[in-house]
Amino acid sequence: MQTPGPAIRTTCPYCGVGCGILATPDGAGGLAIAGDPDHPANFGRLCVKGSALGETVGMKGRLLAPQIGGREAGWDEALDLVARRLSETIAEHGPDAVAFYVSGQLLTEDYYVANKLMKGFIGSANIDTNSRLCMASSVAGHRRAFGSDTVPGLYEDLEQADCVVLVGSNLAWCHPVLFQRLAAAREARGTKVVVIDPRRTATCDIADLHLALAPGSDGVLFNLLLAEIERRGLVAATPENLVEALAAARAMGPAATGLADGALRQFLDVWCGSNRVVTVYSQGVNQSDSGTDKVNAILNCHLATGRIGRPGMGPFSVTGQPNAMGGREVGGLANMLACHLDIENGGHRAAVQDFWRAPRMAERPGLKAVDMFRAVGDGRIKALWIICTNPAVSMPEADRVARAIAGCDFVVVSDMMARTDTTRLAHVLLPATGWAEKDGTVTNSERRISRQRRSLVPAGQARDDWRIIADVAARMGWPEAFAWDSPAQVFAEHAALSGLAGRLGGAFDISAHAGITAAQYGALEPFLWPQSSRRSGGRFFGDGRFHTPSGRARMVPVVPRLPQPVGPAHPFRLNTGRVRDHWHTMTRTGLSPRLSRHLAEPFLELHPTDAARLGLAPAALAEVSSPHGRAILRVLVTDRVAPGHPFAPIHWTGETAPTGRIGALVVGLPDPLSGQPASKSTPVAIRPFGATWYGFAVSARPITPDCDYWVRAILPGGHQAELAGLGEPADWPGTARTMLGVTGEPLVVRDAGKGILRMAFVADGRLQAALFISPEPAALSRSHVIASLGASCGGDVLAGRPGAQQSEAGALVCACLGVGMNTILQGIATRKLMTVEAIGKALGAGTNCGSCKPELKALIEAAKTQARRREVDA
């Protein structure tokens, strides 16, 4: 515990926007969270995930002490064991028999230390990161086009542009504060916004044009654009390969995009007609087996027109994780060295070896994520250290990856949480400090480096990742090279090395900070890289000078490859991605009741014609299978997706919904250049899941279901679960007691004719737990049941819906102010709240973080459409 303190300036640990946060310790282990008005990424704004950070910093679920083989151990014993087993493995099988799998959520200092240990001291490059699943195609595309992995522009370009094109990016949900900045700019100056996504997402709310192109056809689309650029005489630069790239583009026909001529024409007109155009792209582009070519197809258009590196124009790869960029800077990918230096360049290797005084430098690239886990599976890798990532869920072919980890001779996992799908498989578990407990730096999507600052004391015996790695390195025989006392010293070393890289011609140079003191590090303001004696911040490439040997940009002739066609056994193409209020495998956002209420269950967005053909009603369960695994998902029938192209979110795990693990379905098919797997395009089969019963449960105590389908989520005063099964238990009350963690006899309502069974466990007149079973998907007011939990109860909860006096709030739309869908619909219907502002004024919804504004607008639009239909009918 600590005393209440002044606000500490730190950075959000979620997305790559990198918002500044004011975290104020409340003295009881908690934090009050506010946006930092002075941070140049967000100027005080936060999205719902950032706003809810205070709900996720408690002790619940934390890994508090090292564990060996499931028993608690001391730090010395655990670190000795890890160092000994790594050293033995290297001695017996060579350095390539060990691997580190790390994360874009590590701080730069953690990342630097891990990379130094593997590439300079162990002497292998078998360190790869979840950024391989995320940014690798952008990195490879940047390096081909620019000669370096450099993001040319700045966030303010989105505000200064006349046209912003979002390709494979659901900015509204995934980079919400950047979305808000764009939406505000659009209000102010009429920015044209184009969304290119096979799915109609919340981002389309501000789109002047939505191109629902055929999945995977982005390369074709941007080649068509390049050909149009030439036709209109807009070629304004002379990059390498210009002639060849234009020839490849001219060969293109529009058919593969599936777009109507009119829509395509509008896109070409607005892109070509806007000198100030920013093309933002994300996972719809990167996560493809031809992702690198798609990135270059986009970059080509900006290079040919010279629309790059000047105010309001340029290509913009928005990064997902808070420190995806920092990881690239330290060389955390298996095919990079450090500070953007090249592992295959002898001169670069010698310089880094000399700087590190390294005994044994890696001389060739290591295994990239998909191949790394294959090597774990077939025994080539015998010791694996996983840090700050949950590959047993998030890797493609996740079941196979989990089996590989389980079969590996020696597995170490460093995490802040005790129970994840990956920690379950470890021989040694090392407790890491979490976001609020650690000090360091992160780099956001616009190259801005910000401090993350400790605001709470570490949980239990948790230690910082950089220190854990350095302590292992020291025990492996290299104490001098890993002898830092603080992250400030690590940062200083990293900054000094970047100076050396800068002298070798690299763009990433922050050597102005090479001599940084602890006090200066403490006070470090957010800054854009580079920062050296030669230059400071700003945009890149506006002067036409690139980091290639010739100094010219390189266009890449792109011959687009479309995704493999689906076949009769697996006739649907599964798209995957994110929801608004959860972060990846939910180890942190899953702790927040309000974040868990926007979407509390995994789902499959399925087009109405597909649903009808498959005999799947709304809210039915579907079994989805691929050659790699299976999942059971709640069907959400919607025309937001195209026929044949269902979508499922990625967040659920063995801890929250064992049959909702989407990674289990996804094929591990990497791009040949970047190694990034195609996570958005898996052929699957779908059929109804024939449950004989469905259920919904709430309990004040943790729920531990044991049935064919279950999903659990946290509530303000307890827990909830959706359930379904193929065969009913013989003794429902006994099953309920075990599952809901309660004792005693329940109140029971049974309608044998309809097959309905309802049970309430009441103690001291208050509802402790309830279970609702029916032969159809349980139709009851979940928000009423949830609100009844812990409240005084005379059994009326068993009606499953509120009485006449109470109203039903419905699914939570505004998570910040707790405003439900029904409340909003009622407001629209009875109080004529026909604008987002009116709803905000009357109900509060949308007035805090604003993340739900697209949904509010959609509800208003839906009401208007309904009203129009009624007029027509009348």
Where does this chain bind Mo ion (CB under 5 A)? 134, 320
Nearest to 362 by CA among 387, 391, 334, 382: 334
Residue 169 touching ligand MGD (CB under 6 A): yes
In the complex, residue closest to ligand SF4 by CB: 50
| Distance between CA atoms of residues 560 and 597, nearest Å | 41
Which one of residues 163, 177, 221, 669 is an interface residue with ligand SF4 (CB under 6 A)?
177
Name the residue with the smallest CB distance to Mo ion.
320
Asked if 284 touches ligand MGD (CB under 6 A), the answer is yes
Q: Which of 9, 10, 15, 134 binds ligand SF4 (CB under 6 A)?
A: 15
What is the distance between the alpha carbons of residues 10 and 435, in angstroms, rounded to a whole number?
10
Kindly state whether residue 17 participates in binding ligand SF4, applying the rule CB under 6 A.
Answer: yes
- Where does this chain touch ligand SF4 (CB under 6 A) — which range of 10-18, 672-680, 758-766, 782-790? 10-18
Of ligand SF4, ligand MGD, Mo ion, none, which one sits near residue 840, judging by CB under 5 to 8 A according to partner kind? none
Q: Distance between CA 677 and CA 871 in Å, rounded?
A: 50
User: What amino acid occupies position 679?
Assistant: S
Site string for ligand MGD, 434-453 (x = CB under 6 A): x-------------------
Q: Is residue 668 within the footprint of ligand MGD (CB under 6 A)?
A: no
- Listing DSSP states for 356-384 in one string gives HT-SS---S----HHHHHHHHHTTS--EE
Give the binding range for ligand SF4 (CB under 6 A) out of 14-22, 55-63, 246-254, 834-842: 14-22
> According to CB under 6 A, which one of 40, 147, 168, 176 is a site residue for ligand SF4?
176
Q: Which residue of 8, 12, 133, 220 would you call a contact of ligand SF4, by CB under 6 A?
A: 12
Binding segment (CB under 6 A) for ligand SF4, from list 158-166, 171-179, 193-201, 832-840 = 171-179
Q: Which does 169 bind (CB under 5 to 8 A by kind): Mo ion, ligand MGD, ligand SF4, none?
A: ligand MGD
- Told to check if 560 binds ligand MGD by CB under 6 A, we report no
Structure tokens that stand for 753 in this block: 């004719």
* Candidate segments 16-24, 132-140, 662-670, 803-811, binder of ligand SF4 by CB under 6 A: 16-24
Q: Is 842 left (phi over 0), alpha (psi -120 to 50) or beta?
A: alpha
440 neighbors 487 (Cβ within 8 angstroms): yes
| Helix/strand/coil (H/E/C) assignment for every residue in 711-765 | EEEEECCEEEEEEEECCCCCCHHHHHHHHHCCCCCCEEEEECCCCEEEEEEEECC
Q: Of the two residues 16 and 120, which places its CB atom closer to Mo ion in the complex?
A: 16
Q: How far is CA 319 from CA 151, 169, 657, 735, in A?
A: 10, 11, 27, 46
Helix (H, G, I), strand (E, B) or coil at 450: strand
15 or 852: CB nearest Mo ion: 15
Of the candidates 413, 470, 331, 469, which has an alpha carbon nearest to the alpha carbon of residue 587? 413
Q: Which does 663 bind (CB under 5 to 8 A by kind): Mo ion, ligand MGD, ligand SF4, none?
A: ligand MGD
Nearest to 640 by CA among 617, 685, 610: 610
| Contact string (CB under 6 A) for ligand MGD, positions 114-153, x = contact | ----------------x--xx-------------------
Instruction: Give the nearer residue to ligand MGD in terms of CB position, either 452 or 768.
Output: 452
Q: Looking at 152, 366, 526, 663, which residue binds ligand MGD (CB under 6 A)?
A: 663
Where in 396-455 is the site for ligand SF4 (CB under 6 A)? none
When binding is defined by CB under 6 A, the residue of 89, 126, 223, 389 that contacts ligand MGD is 389
Written as six digits, the tokens of 162 are 């006349």
Helix axes 836-843 and 853-873, enclosed angle (nearest 10): 110
Q: Which of Mo ion, ligand SF4, ligand MGD, none interacts with 416 (beta carbon under 5 to 8 A by kind)?
A: ligand MGD
- Number of shown-chain residues binding ligand MGD (CB under 6 A): 57
Residue 434 binds which entry of Mo ion, ligand MGD, ligand SF4, none, CB below 5-8 Å type-dependent: ligand MGD
Both tokens of 221, joined, read: 């689309």
Least separation in angstroms between residue 634's CB and ligand MGD is 18
Q: In angstroms, rounded to a whole number, what is the distance separating the alpha carbons of residues 564 and 566?
A: 6
Number of shown-chain residues binding ligand SF4 (CB under 6 A): 14
Does the protein bind ligand MGD through residue 103 (CB under 6 A)? yes
For residue 320, which of 131, 562, 510 has the smallest C-alpha distance? Answer: 131
| Shortest Cβ 855–ligand SF4 spacing (Å) | 16
Provide the CB-side half-sphere exposure for 389 (13 A, CA).
27
| Contact partner, 666, from ligand SF4, ligand MGD, Mo ion, none, Cβ < 5-8 Å per class | ligand MGD
Question: Is residue 170 a contact residue for ligand MGD (CB under 6 A)?
Answer: yes
Query: Which is nearest to 777 in space by CA: 603, 599, 634, 612?
Result: 634
Interactions with ligand SF4, residue window 36-95 (CB under 6 A): 42, 46-47, 49-50
Binding segment toward ligand MGD, per CB under 6 A, in 518-526, 583-591, 735-743, 821-829: 583-591
CA distance to 679, 699, 700, 794, per residue, from 791 (Å): 44, 12, 11, 10
680, interface contact from Mo ion, ligand MGD, ligand SF4, none, CB < 5-8 Å by kind: ligand MGD
| Number of neighbouring beta carbons within 10 Å of residue 347 | 10
Three-class secondary structure of residue 702 per DSSP? coil
CB under 5 to 8 A by kind: which of Mo ion, ligand SF4, ligand MGD, none does 198 bind?
A: ligand MGD
Query: Which residue in 309, 560, 577, 675 binds ligand MGD (CB under 6 A)?
Result: 577
Residue with Cβ nearer ligand MGD (365 or 646): 646
User: CA-CA distance, 522 to 10, in Å (whole number)?
Assistant: 11
Nearer to ligand SF4, 12 or 401 (CB): 12
What is the helix (H) or strand (E) element at residue 820, kind and residue range?
Answer: strand 819-820
Q: What is the largest CA-CA distance in the chain?
A: 84
Integer angstrom CA distances of residue 65 from 7, 71, 370? 29, 10, 31
Indicate the residue among 220 and 798 with the shorter CB distance to ligand MGD.
220
Q: Please enumerate in sequence order all residues whose Cβ is within 8 A of that of 139, keeping only pairs 6 or more positions apart, or say none.
A: 149, 328, 333, 336, 674
Residue 19 near ligand SF4 by CB under 6 A: yes
Q: Which is nearer to ligand MGD, 418 or 749 (CB)?
A: 418
Between CA 195 and CA 174 the distance in angstroms is 14
When CB distances are held under 5 to 8 angstroms depending on the partner's kind, the choice from ligand MGD, ligand SF4, Mo ion, none that residue 17 binds is ligand SF4
Element (H, E) at 467: helix 465-475
Helix axes 369-377, 398-407, angle to 10 degrees: 50
User: What is the number of other CB atoms lying within 10 angstroms of the CB of residue 88?
Assistant: 13
Task: Note whether 481 and 121 are within 8 A (CB).
Answer: yes
Given the rule CB under 6 A, which residues bind ligand SF4?
12, 14-15, 17-19, 42, 46-47, 49-50, 175-177
Given the rule CB under 6 A, which residues bind ligand MGD?
15, 103, 105, 130, 133-134, 167-170, 173-174, 196-199, 201, 215-216, 218, 282-284, 287, 320-321, 387-391, 393-394, 414-417, 420, 432, 434, 465, 575-578, 580, 582-585, 587, 650, 662-663, 666, 679-680
